């Protein structure tokens, strides 16, 4: 089974969790796109839901699929967000932002009662960090911000090249929020909580792609079928 098929089968399982009337967060990336298309089919068949997209790309796709959309100004709390991830560890800590949508993804995830992550099995890792950690930064003061990220990351045990994400024509990649992305090639992140905390001291950092204590359920597609991992939380309900 290809990685794409695994993503699709995770999305197929996830879309079954959607119930009438739910307010949904709609993630970004190829796995989330499978989910949005499948959700669109259910909407065409009569399901009534509303969604908050996490990127302009997802908003366009959701519109094409006929999914009613809303905003976090109209609806400040969501029932469930369905999104993909670049890495997922055994404690359901994530690296996200490969598609550059990490800020809106984190805002939408924080506003949601539940977060369901869909992924292929290559995303499941023992330790976060092989995937370059994306950090969204404001363009002003980029050099100084990069240097502070280097110093505070090193204090948290993370060292490696920090590169400005660029587009295929060599220009800086600009997020939907008008910011830049720095991709940090740490290889391994020994203490994700400490690292995330340390970035809060840097004024030019908008958000980093570490998602900690946000994911409730991970649906992982694999060669041997689906694996469903639930976070151990006191108030957990069995959603899967």
> Segment contacting ligand 5RP (CB under 6 A): 77-85, 140-148, 162-170, 226-234?
77-85
Applying CB under 6 A, among 15, 18, 88, 101 the residue interacting with ligand 5RP is 101
Q: Is 96 in the site for ligand 5RP (CB under 6 A)?
A: yes
Applying CB under 6 A, among 27, 40, 51, 204 the residue interacting with ligand 5RP is 27
DSSP code string of the chain: --HHHHHHHHHHHHHTT--TT-EEEE--SHHHHHHHHHHHHHHHTT---EEEESSHHHHHHHHHTT--B--TTT-S-EEEEEE--SEE-TT--EE--TTS-HHHHHHHHHTEEEEEEEEEGGGB-SSTTSSPEEEEE-STTHHHHHHHHHHHHHHTT----EEE-B-TTSSBP--TTS-EEEEE--S--S-HHHHHHHHTT-TTEEEESEE-S--SEEEEEETTEEEEEE---TT-----
Number of residues that bind ligand 5RP (CB under 6 A): 18
Q: Is 53 in the site for ligand 5RP (CB under 6 A)?
A: no
Smallest gap, in angstroms, from Cβ of residue 20 to ligand 5RP? 26
Catalytic residue among 16, 74, 87, 105: 105
Q: Which residues contact 208 (CB under 8 A, 6 or more apart)?
A: 97, 102, 133, 134, 135, 136, 195, 196, 199
**Of 30 and 70, which CB lies nearer to ligand 5RP in the complex structure?**
30
**Phi and psi of 88, rounded to 5°?**
-135, 125
Annotation says 105 is catalytic: yes
Q: Which of residues 137-196 bind ligand 5RP (CB under 6 A)?
A: none
Q: Is 129 in the site for ligand 5RP (CB under 6 A)?
A: no
> Segment contacting ligand 5RP (CB under 6 A): 28-36, 74-82, 154-162, 171-179?
28-36
> Segment contacting ligand 5RP (CB under 6 A): 65-73, 84-92, 142-150, 195-203?
84-92
**Of 86 and 148, which CB lies nearer to ligand 5RP in the complex structure?**
86
Q: Is 50 in the site for ligand 5RP (CB under 6 A)?
A: no
Q: Which residues are catalytic?
A: 105
| Footprint of ligand 5RP (CB under 6 A) | 27-32, 83-86, 96-102, 105
């Amino acid at each position: 089974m290809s990685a794409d098929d695994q993503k699709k089968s995770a999305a197929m399982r996830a879309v079954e969790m959607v119930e009438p009337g739910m307010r949904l967060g709609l993630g970004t990336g190829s796995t989330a796109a499978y989910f949005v298309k499948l959700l669109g089919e259910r909407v065409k068949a009569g399901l009534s839901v509303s969604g908050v997209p996490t990127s302009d790309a997802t908003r366009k796709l959701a519109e094409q699929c006929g999914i009613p959309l809303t905003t976090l100004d109209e609806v400040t709390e969501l029932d469930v967000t369905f999104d993909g991830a670049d890495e997922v560890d055994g404690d359901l800590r994530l690296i996200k932002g490969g598609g550059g949508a990490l800020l809106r993804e984190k805002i939408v995830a924080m506003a949601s009662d539940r977060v369901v992550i869909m992924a292929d099995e290559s995303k499941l890792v023992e330790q976060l960090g092989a995937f370059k950690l994306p950090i969204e930064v404001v363009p002003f003061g980029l050099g100084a911000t990069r240097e502070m990220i280097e110093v505070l990351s090193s204090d948290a045990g993370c060292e490696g090249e920090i590169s400005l994400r660029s587009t295929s024509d060599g220009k800086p990649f600009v997020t939907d929020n008008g910011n830049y992305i720095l991709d940090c090639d740490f290889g391994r992140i020994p203490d994700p909580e400490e690292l995330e905390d340390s970035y809060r001291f840097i004024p030019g950092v908008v958000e980093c792609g570490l998602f900690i204590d946000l994911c409730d359920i991970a649906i992982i597609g694999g060669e041997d079928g689906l694996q469903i991992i639930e976070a151990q939380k006191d108030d957990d309900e069995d959603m899967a």
